[in-house]
């Protein structure tokens, strides 16, 4: 009983799925679609919904596009999602992230995970000045 | 049997602990110390070690200071550490984070947590182009 | 220094371990035992205890058997345990889960992980009506 | 420097926010809006986006509505989001969840968290039959 | 619609629940039962099952009883379960844990959470010597 | 665009990195360095900082060295970091951990993860006696 969903290539995709693939490529100005979308394509409504969310959240806004990608990578590194680190790490590099910036971001991710546990275990009360 | 460690105020601190408090205040150009350090003060070597790490990692580097604080908040929000969100959120606001930037950062944190699970559950293979 | 515990096959198992394997196969009406149990078999008391727990918790009760498997998969997907997603996903499919149901469950897992972070970061107070 | 976002009541909400509140109440056939939405209302685009996602994902589909709520609660219990457990637990009870069903669901959540760690630590290989 | 389960006191407990309470008190040589069990008592089969697991796992074995409690606290601190830190922390102190040992354990928990993220994000390959 | 950082061997390392490698080998009385350090070596300040932390926290203190390694493994098992389980598991075995002790530790890790979720979901109040 096969469980693993294989990526659906453009050539094999339904018009509904192709429309999302086309929008991904147009929005990102690239000529290919990465595996995440090709696997989500088995469930077209989720494919459309997640792409629409990514477009909204990761599109132009109050934060610099590179900063947004780095926050995405930071959370993915904290959660241990290798694919997400690889794909959003590539996007961040494409937007100009240097290796020194990547190292510095990982150092923050590591340290935050350390202090988060100390704070929780010691049940530190929020200072009045922070409220 | 009391378990909870109460914050140690400056007036009650040992010279060793006061030296760290002094350095925190001098480095941050503020005249008070927040509860995290006052609770860590029960264990002076850890107080010194964590402060030294924070100073190294969060000090000047390849990333903008505000971006660094926002990455810290993003990881803390993902991990659910309320104190850490409050304290580093205050630091980020102090460094100029607007409410619109805060909202946008939280939206990324939420979305990354969603897609991290989809990717993991669907066991998406890393694209060759990302390697 | 070998660390990884290899699966213990039925032919190589002690009578104590075989008794658990036999009960697993009889309870599930199948003629094989999956790797989880064969690896746990290095520690017979834990093998017995975990199997007894699974039998109690996943056996007949107030919830439909398929719903129970899907809850198991949902938690495993949220935690990122690939083996658990594969094994309980197979069990759920065996009990009738369709691909559309699987997709819908994953969508809920993803969305819950997103809103969980927003709620925590925003420190939303529980409404009186929910108490 | 106030950080905590207070709930925005209907009377104080902008037309854009009221439109979402109205849709929440109409969709759920209730006459009030819970705190999650009132806090998200500080960021109208996120309010609209998350409500649209919830409506899509939690609306009619391949799974029974009660099962969907229980999966939501299960993930929230696993992640430790108290507000989410309270709000989606209330929704599940409203849709007919009994206390026995709730207990059984929690037992699965607990057990899955136990076995997820054993599987990961023991690095169990996925059986060929599960692929 | 009340959701929160209140602790069930001995005087109000069924004979089935009292039997577990009695065994907890006899095993631990104490004259009271902590809230975890009193809340689980709403679901007697789970109460019995979890107590039986705790008795098996936390009873005499290959590890020192204090070490076992400290491992329990370490995992609970890493997961952010305040009640679990408080209750197993009390048990560890009762078995002789000093404040210096507690501090040292928390330092390990924090550091492991830091390095776990660095290792995962950097996708470090397991050395042949560790296999 | 290569993303993955390859281990930097001693022969290819800068004097700054070699100094840390030398200290690791001298402190541990071994003649090789494991991959974690060789990958961190791309970022020498982080390499130095993390090694200094590990040396401080895992060096002689209030807890037995083997107990310290087991706590490290327990947290890594709970977090699902395979490399960390392998490397600190090897260290623990080197310091005398038996297979029975390893099994018992994993049983505690699993059970703590189970009860942590039950406690959180049931929102159990901390007993006065534990405060």
Helices (H), chain F: 15-28, 35-40, 44-58, 65-79, 82-94, 99-122
Query: Does the structure's ipTM exceed the value 0.85?
Result: yes
**Which pLDDT tens digit goes with each residue over D90-125?**
999 999 999 999 999 999 999 999 999 999 999 999
Contact B63, A97 (CB under 8 A): no
Architecture of domain E8-59: Up-down Bundle (1.20)
Domain A61-131 has CATH 1.20.1290.10: yes
Structural class in CATH, domain A1-59: mainly alpha
Q: What percent of chain C has pLDDT over 70?
A: 98
The rounded distance, in Å, linking the Cα atoms of C81 and D117 is 8
Cα E118 to its chain centre, rounded Å, is: 27
Partner-chain contact D35 C101, CB within 8 Å? no
Partner-chain contact C85 B115, CB within 8 Å? no
Nearest-neighbour CA in chain D from B95: distance (Å): 12
Average pLDDT over residues B21-38: 97
The rounded distance, in Å, linking the Cα atoms of E80 and E131 is 31
E8 contacts in chain D (CB < 8 Å): none
**Which pLDDT tens digit goes with each residue over F38-73?**
999 999 999 999 999 999 999 999 999 999 999 999
**Which pLDDT tens digit goes with each residue over A41-100?**
999 999 999 999 999 999 999 999 999 999 999 999 999 999 999 999 999 999 999 999
Confidence band for A2, pLDDT divided at 50, 70 and 90 = low
Which of E82, E84, E109 lies at the smallest CB-CB distance from F112? E84
Confidence band for E2, pLDDT divided at 50, 70 and 90 = low
Q: In chain E, where are the structural domains located?
A: 8-59, 62-122
Res C1 pLDDT > 80? no
Q: Which CATH number fits domain E62-122: 3.30.565.10, 1.20.1290.10, 3.50.50.60, 1.20.1070.10?
A: 1.20.1290.10
Architecture of domain C7-59: Up-down Bundle (1.20)
> How many angstroms separate the first and last alpha carbons of chain B?
54
The rounded distance, in Å, linking the Cα atoms of D65 and D116 is 27
Domain F1-59 identical in fold to domain F63-131: yes
Which SS3 state, helix, strand or coil, does residue B1 take? coil
Q: Which residues of F touch B (CB under 8 A)?
A: 1-4, 45, 49, 53, 56-57, 130-131
Q: Which two tokens stand for residue D99?
A: 């206390």
Q: Which two tokens stand for residue E54?
A: 């705790």
Helices (H), chain E: 15-28, 35-40, 44-58, 65-79, 82-94, 99-122
Q: What percent of chain A has pLDDT over 90?
A: 95
Contact D60, D70 (CB under 8 A): no
Cα D91 to its chain centre, rounded Å, is: 9
Partner-chain contact C86 D40, CB within 8 Å? no
The fold adopted by the segment(s) F63-131 is: AhpD-like (1.20.1290)
Contact A77, A106 (CB under 8 A): yes
- C62-124, superfamily in CATH? AhpD-like (1.20.1290.10)
Question: Any idea which of A111-115, B41-45, E47-51, F1-5 has the lowest mean pLDDT?
Answer: F1-5
Count the Cβ atoms, other than its own, within 10 Å of residue D38. 24
Res B1 pLDDT > 50? no
Contact E120, A84 (CB under 8 A): no
How far CA F15 is from CA of A100, A103, F19, F47, in Å, comes to 19, 20, 6, 13
Has this prediction a pTM greater than 0.80? yes
> How many angstroms separate the first and last alpha carbons of chain E?
54
- pLDDT: which is higher, D74 or B130: D74
- The string over A48-63, giving b where at least 16 C-beta atoms fall within 10 Å of a residue's C-beta and e elsewhere, is bbbbbbbebbbeebeb
Q: Which of D4, D6, D43 best tests the B interface by mutation, with the highest count of B CBs <10 A? A: D43
């Amino acid at each position: 009983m096969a469980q693993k969903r294989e990526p659906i290539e453009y050539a094999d995709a339904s018009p509904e799925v192709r429309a999302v693939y086309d929008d991904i490529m147009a929005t990102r100005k690239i000529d290919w679609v990465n595996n995440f979308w090709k696997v989500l394509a088995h469930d077209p409504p989720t494919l459309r919904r997640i792409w629409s969310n990514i477009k909204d959240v990761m599109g132009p806004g109050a934060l610099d596009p590179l900063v947004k990608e780095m926050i995405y990578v930071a959370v993915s590194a904290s959660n241990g999602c290798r694919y997400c680190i690889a794909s959003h790490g590539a996007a961040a590099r494409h937007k100009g992230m240097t290796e020194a910036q990547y190292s510095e971001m990982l150092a923050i991710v590591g340290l935050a995970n350390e202090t988060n546990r100390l704070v929780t275990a010691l049940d530190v009360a929020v200072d009045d000045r922070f409220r």
